[in-house]
Amino acid sequence: MTATDSVDTLWEADAIVARRERYYAASQRRFVPYETPLIFRRGAGQYLWDEGGKRYIDLLAMNVCVSVGHAHPEVVKAASAQIAELTHCTTMFYHPVPAHYAEELAATMPSGHDWVVHFTSSGAEAVDLALMLARSRTGNNDIVALADSYHGATYGAQSVTGISGFRHGIAQLGGVAFVAEPNQYRGVFGPGTAPYLAELERTIDTATSGRLAGMIVEPLQGYGGIVEMPPGYMAGAFERVRARGGLAIVDEVQSGLGRTGETFWAFEAHDVVPDIVVMAKGIGNGIPLGAVVAKREVAACMAEKFLFHTYGANPVATAVGRAVLRVIAAEGLQDNARRVGAALKAGLLDLQQKHDAIGDVRGKGLMLAIELVKDRASKEPDPETTARVFEETRRQGLVVSKSGRHRSLLRMVPPLCLAMEDVADVVAGLDASFAAAVA
């Protein structure tokens, strides 16, 4: 008997599907990746088991949330202890756990600045707050965002999201100008940094008032298809944005927490110090937790009014946040991401030699993707082959995700504890998936 049997949870597959179809709103039913439902029952470390007992290597980490591994004992212990003692403590009262965590998060930021933290329970809430902060602090309205960005589903976050599949046909917030993403594989201006910075200036000069509230950037775009900002882009962009009165906002919801291997926050590899950093997902290892970390003087403008996120600074979520930081340090998971990520990327590059459908392999650390094309010269995206390979990966016991504007990428963002021993299995599973799908 498992924990969920005891509370009258029915595990019969057809009934699970029927109940979801019947009671989930259309808005929550739409997003189903495979041709037939996949029902998960259990996770441990980098592995998942479905309701029939089949094991999978989790290369999606439940959408980049499970950073240190499923059911990590330290995280379970921290959550259980806190939930038993005090499950919630609203922010108007004092509790040491969120404050300790705020101190520990601030310590991960570049030194020489005075960082403060505002907790939320999701990434989109944190993005909304970042946009409000930038506008309040600067007195300017215009925000620049990148094409192919994803920042969340709420009104504010959706308004700065640059993928039409996530933008609903409703009036979005005004005052957002999009600029071409510096995609080195298929960006409109080809490879290089300078043409994209020139385009940023043109955009500021034409699509904004000329005075900016800020620019929001994912150092390594996630849903957009693992698009890494090229060297010099973030520094050049933020310099231009600051010259127009704007703030530098970095979205580390997917790319942060050691995932890119080289640095703890992905922006640190770009020689920039942001004014506002947004984080969520992996910081809570699957427990809802988000945060805006900002320079004290930037955050100060919000002191005049209440800004109350009911579950922001929840002691259970922040106890988990603390445990996650401890585990990353104790188990050397940032370095693991660097080493295992490099081995996996090498394996993916080998596959590219073998399978013509693979046009590009990119990313770093444990934030990787392969992009499928119909023809390597034209780089025409190949969503059909991607869908077939994707279906096959499931049979091979791999959980990956279809990503990108054209749904032509297989994105791999596993828990940071993916082991060296898993790499051969992942590469063999992908190899077999291509062989089966392309034959």
Comparing CA positions, the residue from 275, 238, 270 lying closest to residue 255 is 270
3-state secondary structure of 402: strand
> CA-CA distances (angstroms) from residue 8 to 5, 39, 42, 52?
6, 17, 17, 18
**H or E element in which residue 278 lies:** strand 276-279
* Total residues interacting with ligand PMP, rule: CB under 6 A: 14
Counting contacts by CB under 6 A, is residue 152 touching ligand PMP? yes
Is the CB of 150 or the CB of 265 nearer to ligand PMP?
150
| Interaction residues for ligand PMP, span 279-338 (CB under 6 A) | 280
Q: How far is the CB of 183 from ligand PMP (least distance, A)?
A: 16
Residue number of the CB atom closest to ligand PMP: 123
Counting contacts by CB under 6 A, is residue 434 touching ligand PMP? no
Q: Which of 74, 148, 218, 228 binds ligand PMP (CB under 6 A)?
A: 218
Counting contacts by CB under 6 A, is residue 127 touching ligand PMP? yes
Counting contacts by CB under 6 A, is residue 122 touching ligand PMP? yes
Counting contacts by CB under 6 A, is residue 381 touching ligand PMP? no
**H or E element in which residue 74 lies:** helix 73-85
Counting contacts by CB under 6 A, is residue 138 touching ligand PMP? no
Choose the binding region for ligand PMP from 123-131, 179-187, 323-331, 369-377 (rule: CB under 6 A).
123-131
Counting contacts by CB under 6 A, is residue 124 touching ligand PMP? yes
Strand order in the sheet with 176-179: 115-120, 290-295, 276-279, 247-251, 212-217, 142-146, 176-179
The answer for residues whose C-beta is within 8 angstroms of residue 204's C-beta and 6 or more apart is 144, 177, 210, 212, 240, 241, 244
Pairing type for strands 367-372 and 358-364 reads antiparallel
Q: How far is the CB of 37 from ligand PMP (least distance, A)?
A: 21
| Contact (CB, 8 A) for 401 and 225 | no
Q: How far is the CB of 392 from ligand PMP (least distance, A)?
A: 25
Angle, CA of 348, 258 and 55, to the nearest 5°? 55
Q: How far is the CB of 61 from ligand PMP (least distance, A)?
A: 12
Counting contacts by CB under 6 A, is residue 156 touching ligand PMP? no
DSSP state of 379: T
| Contact (CB, 8 A) for 64 and 266 | no
| Contact (CB, 8 A) for 383 and 406 | yes
Is the CB of 287 or the CB of 373 nearer to ligand PMP?
287
> Letter for the amino acid at 316?
V
> Letter for the amino acid at 101?
Y
Q: Which of 56, 150, 196, 238 binds ligand PMP (CB under 6 A)?
A: 150
Is the CB of 130 or the CB of 437 nearer to ligand PMP?
130
Q: x/- binding map, residues 242-281, to ligand PMP, per CB under 6 A? A: ---------x-xx-------------------------x-
Q: x/- binding map, residues 220-239, to ligand PMP, per CB under 6 A? A: --xx----------------
Counting contacts by CB under 6 A, is residue 219 touching ligand PMP? no
Q: How far is the CB of 121 from ligand PMP (least distance, A)?
A: 8
Residue indicated by tokens 């470390």? 45
List of residues contacting ligand PMP (CB under 6 A):
122-124, 127, 150-152, 218, 222-223, 251, 253-254, 280
